[in-house]
């Protein structure tokens, strides 16, 4: 019965892909037109995928589906071996907390908490990620400081500052450190470098790739900055994949 299944963290095998989508259709309202229609999409474990496409091509919608924030009205959506379309919202929230790191354009930081407290939040909500952190760094505080140091956010008392006092670029780095806590198997990022200068962007990409390589995590990275695309294993051009976009046929023919 939909909504009654559990998401067993040990139910998948390493051979299953990180993401597999078949015959998917998603609408924001039941009576509205589909905004995302994908025949088939497969992303392997450990793969680093760059998602490109113009505004309105469905990039953010795809990430919301992969994170379990939204569910399709039609088709199959399997993430890390789990069928997300058949379980309750509470189960998806639990699954996301344990297995998915998210960097969204709205950073969703807690304004009255410090930088350090925000970065450690995944360990408060997930025993799985807390256990990984302890194996790697001993304590959540030590791991949070390690990540903040890599992102240039550990000096001059920055970890103790309320996030509400930070610049947008600094908040973006805090959100990135939080997403990386506990080595989630899937990391999804929506324009994560949009507020960073060139030096900070390069350092961020280097850290992201290194953390994913160390843990075997899969990375799905959305950006308008196509200069970054050659750094990734593969580029998905969503305008050519999403059959719901008006210019789908043109994009397919042009290969964009």
The phi, psi pair for 50, rounded to 5°, reads -100, 125
CA 189 to chain centre: 4
The tokens describing 65, both together, are 């589906």
Chain segment 211-255, per-residue pLDDT in tens: 999 999 999 999 999 999 999 999 999 999 999 876 654 544 455
Cα separation, 220 vs 40, in Å, equals 16
Q: Is residue 142 predicted with pLDDT exceeding 60?
A: yes
Cα separation, 19 vs 186, in Å, equals 9
Confidence of residue 10 (pLDDT cuts 50, 70, 90): very low
Q: Is residue 76 predicted with pLDDT exceeding 90?
A: yes
Confidence of residue 52 (pLDDT cuts 50, 70, 90): very high
Cα separation, 193 vs 124, in Å, equals 26
Question: What residue ranges do the domains of the chain occupy?
Answer: 44-70+89-241
Determine the average pLDDT of the residues in 89-101.
96
For the chain, give the longest Cα–Cα distance.
54
Looking up tokens 């998915």 gives 100
Determine the average pLDDT of the residues in 39-52.
97
Q: In this structure, what DSSP letter does residue 48 have?
A: E
* Topology classification of domain 44-70+89-241: Rossmann fold (3.40.50)
DSSP string, 152-203: T-SSTTGGGSBGGGS-HHHHHHHHHHHHHTT--SEEEEESTTTT--HHHHHH
Cα separation, 84 vs 96, in Å, equals 10
């Amino acid at each position: 019965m939909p909504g009654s299944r559990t998401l067993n963290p040990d139910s998948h095998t390493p051979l299953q892909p990180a993401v597999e989508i078949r015959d998917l259709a998603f609408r924001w309202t039941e009576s509205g037109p589909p905004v995302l229609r994908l025949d088939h999409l497969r992303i392997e474990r450990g793969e680093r995928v760059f998602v490109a496409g113009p505004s309105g091509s469905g990039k953010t919608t795809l990430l919301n589906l992969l994170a379990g924030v939204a569910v399709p009205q039609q088709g199959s959506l399997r993430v890390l071996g789990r069928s997300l379309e058949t379980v309750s919202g509470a189960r998806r929230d639990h699954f996301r907390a344990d297995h998915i790191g998210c960097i969204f354009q709205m950073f969703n930081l807690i304004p009255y908490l410090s930088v350090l407290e925000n970065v450690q939040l995944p360990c408060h909500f997930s025993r799985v990620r807390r256990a990984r952190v302890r194996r790697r760094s001993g304590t959540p505080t030590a791991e949070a400081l390690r990540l903040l140091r890599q992102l240039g956010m550990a000096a001059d008392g920055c970890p103790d500052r309320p996030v509400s006092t930070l610049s947008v670029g600094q908040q973006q780095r805090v959100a990135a450190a939080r997403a990386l806590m506990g080595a989630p198997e899937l990391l999804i990022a929506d324009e994560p470098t949009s507020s960073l200068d060139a030096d900070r962007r390069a350092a961020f990409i280097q850290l992201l790739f290194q953390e994913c390589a160390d843990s075997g995590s899969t990375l799905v990275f959305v950006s308008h900055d196509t200069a970054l695309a050659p750094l990734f294993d593969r580029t998905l051009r969503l305008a050519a994949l999403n059959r719901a976009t008006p210019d789908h046929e043109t994009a397919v023919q042009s290969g964009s």
